[in-house]
Structure 1
Amino acid sequence: MKREFKFDFGTASAGAAEGYTKITADTVYDPTAGCGFVAGAGRVYAKDRGESAAALKRDFVIPLEAVFLVDVPDGTYQVTLMAGDDITETETTVKAGEGRLMVLKHRTSAGQYATHAFSVWVTDGKLRLAFSGLAPRVNAVEIAPRDTAVTLFLAGDSTVTDQPAEGWPYTGWGQMLPKWLKADVAVANYALSGRSSKSFISEGHLDKIWARMKPQDYLLIQFGHNDQKADEERHTDPFTTYKETLKLYIDGARSRQAVPVLVTSVQRRFFDAEGRLIDTHGDYLTAMRELAQEEGVPLVDLAEKSRRLFEELGPEETKKLFLWAVPGEYINHPNGVEDNTHFHELGGIRVAELVAESLKELGLQPLRMYLRF
């Protein structure tokens, strides 16, 4: 199966730039071709601004909530996107895979063309790019293997995982983390809803990470929300089985010459009468901080970072970060929702920023160089 692609998006009449494959608004994905827009997913239009413009700039597609698929072998790929328009300003958002945020509302002015490069972790044989925005443009896309990219593996629960599109704006912070990373890093988000540090291992999910991890990769570990649950499959005791289980992640990463990073559980949205955040994680936070000290493991104290942020915003403003909606506000939640644990996309972006800020503060090399700060 081919691993490198160069696509020129636009109109058939404009032809394809040399060395590129033409993709028009009518190029629908089918397994034989191995690339194209997903039928029924949004709308796609095409425009040609005329022969005076350079080959890749004269024409483009306007993908409105549209999804472009390319069949590729599993692995890490660098995607380079060109977006712009000779005569008007544009705004484009790009997500990859299961809603991982790569480019957020990037604007270009008339005559300006922006190039964005990012790395995508592919595990199902399909590289998926979803486009949206007020006035999105796609002029060209190049896809090439990036096997040397650092992989940032995520192990965690529903506050971290890639939430499916049918639940939007329900979002995990790991889903938004790529926005804060350069193309040298690919995020491999293995976090899953409802899992504890114990059940993540017993269900075989950690083994999937071990099978793909290479030296100099990183493993971010956030568990605690579900370790608190009473059922035998998930429950751990903070100062015994919780620490013992987390040590399996630490030792496994180190044995593969990768870097483990512990992440204290992000806070829930519960306030007391004075507007102070009520901690619901208790000894699990203390135990993880102790373990980081004992094992010499870098610690992202997301519990403390998120506490400060949520208290600064207060009870009302934090509703914008969490999955709060009135009936009819979002088509995926017609009856409304009041969720004090899980994030709205805006919250996922903000919490992901806290994680990226913390990684910068830790000074981990080479990861620190790959952060967009």
Structure 2
Amino acid sequence: MKQIYLNTLTIIAAFISATGAAKAQSFDFDMSKPQPVYCNETGSGYDILPAPDKKHAADPYYFSVKVPDGNYLVRVTLGGKKNSNTTLRAEGRRLMMDNITTSKSKETRVVSFVVNKRSPLIDEKRRVKIKEREKDYLAWDDKLTLEVNGSNPAVKSIHIERTDVPTIYLCGNSTVVDQNFEPWASWGQMITRWFDDGVAVSNHAESGLTARTFIDSFRLEKILSTLKAGDYVFVEFGHNDEKEKRAGDGAWYHYQYQLKIFVDKVRDKGAEIVFCTPTQRRFFEKDNKTIRNTHGDFPAAMKMVAELEKVPVIDLNGMTKTLFETMGFEDSKRLLVHYPANTFPNQPNALADNTHFNTFGAYEVAKCVVMGIKTLNLPLVQHLRSDWKDFTPEHPDDWKVFKWAPAKISELTKPDGN
């Protein structure tokens, strides 16, 4: 009995020590010096693409660090011998900072942001039921991965350390998820651009999910395992829920019932919940001027739950309707995955998707979400970056001047759901 007791103490002490080490964990990398190629043994290094060399010094690259789940402050020093333009993304193409320039005259700039890293593990007995397609997602592995991109990227050093900041958890479908591959994108991976290093964004959305299947795959449980007072949970469903056909399904019972589960579970943890009505599909009426509501009663059903439960609402359904109609029948295609054949490698056929956003469209919808946060006057507004400029869907950005450094990885397969 004494030996069992001592062994138990040893295990507890080891766990406390490991937990403390994880919280105190920090890394520094001098990117002006050679770095290894990533492997489990080294725990850090160039990843995904071939390591850059002198001949390809201006090429994009990925750099990964093996870390436990959590939020990590990333501080990047930029600058080089030539004029540089650098875009920084994390995990599944989450935009952190874009088009940062430095001159060749020894100019350096330091930028910082917080990256949330997670794995499917919830506890010793439970794991998130990720889809087969998700198994290769950078967001579900055991690494924090940075993508260094831009017309001439120049990173001098990278500092990474564990941090404890409020977290915005995102729940939703293909209009919210971190889309891993060009040309697909969602607002959840763009909104990160507008928050400073005082807040983290943890995107748990996945293509094709409904409110029910999100819960059934233990994604809400994963969020609840780390959710705390001061955190936020943003919920956008509807695109796929409206296609469920079981007995009792529909906007006014089943959908509302699931939304109520989100409200109760989140508030039980002392956190705040925000609803986002589903983004519109680009479905114009015969006049080619007016967007038809393809979501039926679902936006109204969400608003009813919000009113009854006093949940703040960001009306993305209304804002994206205005955005599509303002841009018009033709230019609104610039918000979505509409591309002629051979725009991307191995693309013999044109792409014409009226549901899923491209990078520009996702960028614009993310701005709609930020404006919703501002309109609601949520405390999160104090963490908006100083370069944020107010936005209205009646006056969208000019797609002709939008500058995006494409990732080197593309995928022509349409995301699940519609």
TM-score range, shorter chain: 0.7 to 0.9
Q: Which residue does 1:72 correspond to in 2?
A: 67
Q: Secondary structure at the match of 1:139?
A: strand
Give, as a single letter, the amino acid of the residue that structure 2 aligns with 1:138: V
How far, CA to CA, are the matches of 1:203 and 1:328 in structure 2?
A: 37
Q: Residue 305 of structure 1 contacts residue 354 of structure 1 at CA under 8 Å; is this kept in 2?
A: yes
Per-residue deviation, residues 229-284 of structure 1 (Å, max 9, x unmatched): 14439x83212221121011011111101000000001111112331111111211
Structure ranking higher in strand proportion:
1
Aligned partner (choices 43, 52, 55) of residue 44 of structure 1: 52
Per-residue deviation, residues 203-228 of structure 1 (Å, max 9, x unmatched): 22211111121111000000000111
Give, as a single letter, the amino acid of the residue that structure 2 aligns with 1:79: V
Aligned partner (choices 87, 96, 101) of residue 95 of structure 2: 101
How far, CA to CA, are the matches of 1:368 and 1:110 in structure 2?
A: 35
Structure 1 vs Structure 2 CA RMSD: 1.9
Q: Does 1:159 align with 2:175?
A: yes
How far, CA to CA, are the matches of 1:279 and 1:270 in structure 2?
A: 8
TM-score between both structures, scaled by the size of structure 1: 0.87
Q: Which residue does 2:38 correspond to in 1?
A: 29
Higher RCO (CA 8 Å, separation ≥ 6 residues) = 2
Q: Does 1:133 align with 2:142?
A: no
Aligned partner (choices 195, 205, 208) of residue 222 of structure 2: 208
Q: How does 1:53-68 map to 2 (within 5 A)?
A: 62=57, 64-68=59-63
How far, CA to CA, are the matches of 1:82 and 1:228 in structure 2?
A: 47
Q: Residue 42 of structure 1 contacts residue 65 of structure 1 at CA under 8 Å; is this kept in 2?
A: no
Aligned partner (choices 286, 293, 306) of residue 300 of structure 2: 286
Give, as a single letter, the amino acid of the residue that structure 1 aligns with 2:172: G
Structure 1 residues 294 and 237: CA distance shift in structure 2, 3 A: same
How far, CA to CA, are the matches of 2:84 and 2:293 in structure 1?
A: 43
Per-residue deviation, residues 78-108 of structure 1 (Å, max 9, x unmatched): 000011135x321111110111111112222
How far, CA to CA, are the matches of 1:138 and 1:333 in structure 2?
A: 33
How far, CA to CA, are the matches of 2:104 and 2:371 in structure 1?
A: 33
How far, CA to CA, are the matches of 1:109 and 1:83 in structure 2?
A: 10
Q: Residue 100 of structure 1 contacts residue 176 of structure 1 at CA under 8 Å; is this kept in 2?
A: yes
Q: Which residue does 2:166 correspond to in 1?
A: 150
Q: Residue 60 of structure 2 contacts residue 153 of structure 2 at CA under 8 Å; is this kept in 1?
A: no
What percentage of residue pairs aligned between the two structures are identical?
A: 35
Q: Residue 89 of structure 2 contacts residue 96 of structure 2 at CA under 8 Å; is this kept in 1?
A: yes
Deviates more, 1:300-309 or 1:197-206: 197-206
Q: Which residue does 1:6 correspond to in 2?
A: 28
Give, as a single letter, the amino acid of the residue that structure 2 aligns with 1:4: S
Structure 1 residues 136 and 192: CA distance shift in structure 2, 3 A: same
Q: Which residue does 1:187 correspond to in 2?
A: 201
**Cα offset, 1:334, TM superposition:** 4.2
How far, CA to CA, are the matches of 2:346 and 2:229 in structure 1?
A: 41
Corresponding pairs, count: 340
TM-score between both structures, scaled by the size of structure 2: 0.78
Aligned partner (choices 91, 98, 103) of residue 85 of structure 2: 91
How far, CA to CA, are the matches of 1:180 and 1:332 in structure 2?
A: 34
Q: Does 1:225 align with 2:239?
A: yes
Q: Residue 61 of structure 2 contacts residue 148 of structure 2 at CA under 8 Å; is this kept in 1?
A: yes
Q: Which residue does 2:191 correspond to in 1?
A: 177
Give, as a single letter, the amino acid of the residue that structure 1 aligns with 2:320: S
How far, CA to CA, are the matches of 2:185 and 2:296 in structure 1?
A: 24
Q: Does 1:119 align with 2:132?
A: no
Structure 1 residues 243 and 143: CA distance shift in structure 2, 3 A: same
Per-residue deviation, residues 151-181 of structure 1 (Å, max 9, x unmatched): 110110111111123xx11112111110111
Give, as a single letter, the amino acid of the residue that structure 1 aligns with 2:242: Q
Q: Residue 63 of structure 1 contacts residue 131 of structure 1 at CA under 8 Å; is this kept in 2?
A: no
Aligned partner (choices 324, 327, 346) of residue 310 of structure 1: 324
How far, CA to CA, are the matches of 1:30 and 1:102 in structure 2?
A: 25
How far, CA to CA, are the matches of 2:298 and 2:339 in structure 1?
A: 30
Q: Secondary structure at the match of 1:346?
A: helix
